[in-house]
Amino acid sequence: MNIIDTHSQLWTEEAIMSMPESMRRGYLRIFGDNLPKIGDTLADMDAAGVAVSVVVAVDAETRWGYRVSNDLVAQAVAEHPDRLIGFASVDPHKGVLARRELRRAVEELGLRGLKLLPHLLELRPNDREMYPVYEEARDLGIPVLFHAGTQFHTGTKLKYCRPIDIDEVAVDFPDLKIIIAHFGWPWYEETMTICQRNANVWFNIAGWAPRHIPDFVVRYMDRVLPHKVLFGSDYPLVSRQRIVQELEAMELKEETRRRLYRENAEQLLGLAPRA
């Protein structure tokens, strides 16, 4: 199928063991002794017909000591350059150092996007402390992927995850490409509105088994915003195989499938179309 997955995690043993103890315990409860390996990612991609997958770094070092480094993501990409695309992460609390690190990650490490988790940064997306990082991403020509909607990191607050705050960023940075992850659930009506009114904003379906996606979102992705929806898995939280199987069982227009699986991501990431 040549699907492009715009959102997955690098939760290898090395990545998980690099996390602070408070974070690591949660992941170890999920995976036990079966910590994911890059080989598992590639096997799941193959089984689902996914040609290329984005893997993301995490930098929330200032507030939570949580970091999956840009170098670790770049190493995985270097080992599988035809299959993986890396997104960097930086902590805006670090000021000019965050901008420098983002530039290094793109220009020296070859990463091709920026992942931000506002609840771990304890900054809303429209907080002016975030803006220098957006300026850097815009100047580098890379997209910004925001976690939006609910999340399950103990001790963090949902107030930082409302999609509506991303609207202000989209208006203030019309040349910055923005992705709202997880369609912002439970605030998916905000997400659809923001994507409809802002030419520079997309949304993905990462982290959801498609049969549980609300009908409202399905209608929008199929009838109103087929040019804005992106395939995403959040693997290993959800198997790409399951996502594809459930999407294939849904009544979607052929144009929607084509755009969802490949074309929108090709446009967003500047990838050459695949046969």
What are the pLDDT digits (tens) for 38-62?
Answer: 999 999 999 999 999 999 999 999 9
Q: How far apart are CA 49 and CA 51, in angstroms?
A: 6
CATH class (in words) of the domain with range 3-269: alpha beta
Residue with tokens 């993905």: 204
Whether residue 147 has pLDDT greater than 70: yes
Q: pLDDT value at position 36?
A: 83
Mean pLDDT of 248-252: 97
Whether residue 85 has pLDDT greater than 90: yes
Whether residue 274 has pLDDT greater than 70: no
What average pLDDT is seen over the chain?
Answer: 95
Q: pLDDT value at position 275?
A: 56
Whether residue 187 has pLDDT greater than 60: yes
Residues 6+ apart with CB under 8 A from 124: 118, 130, 159, 160, 162, 165
Mean pLDDT of 15-41: 81
Q: Which two tokens stand for residue 243?
A: 């996502």
Q: pLDDT value at position 43?
A: 96
Whether residue 162 has pLDDT greater than 80: yes
Whether residue 163 has pLDDT greater than 60: yes
Q: pLDDT value at position 246?
A: 98
Q: Which of 12-16, 47-51, 76-80 has the lowest mean pLDDT?
A: 12-16
Whether residue 141 has pLDDT greater than 70: yes
Note every long-range contact of 250-258, with CB atoms under 8 Å and residues 24 or more positions apart, other chains counting.
Answer: 250/210, 250/211, 250/218, 252/218, 252/221, 252/222, 253/222, 253/226, 255/226, 256/221, 256/222, 256/226, 256/229
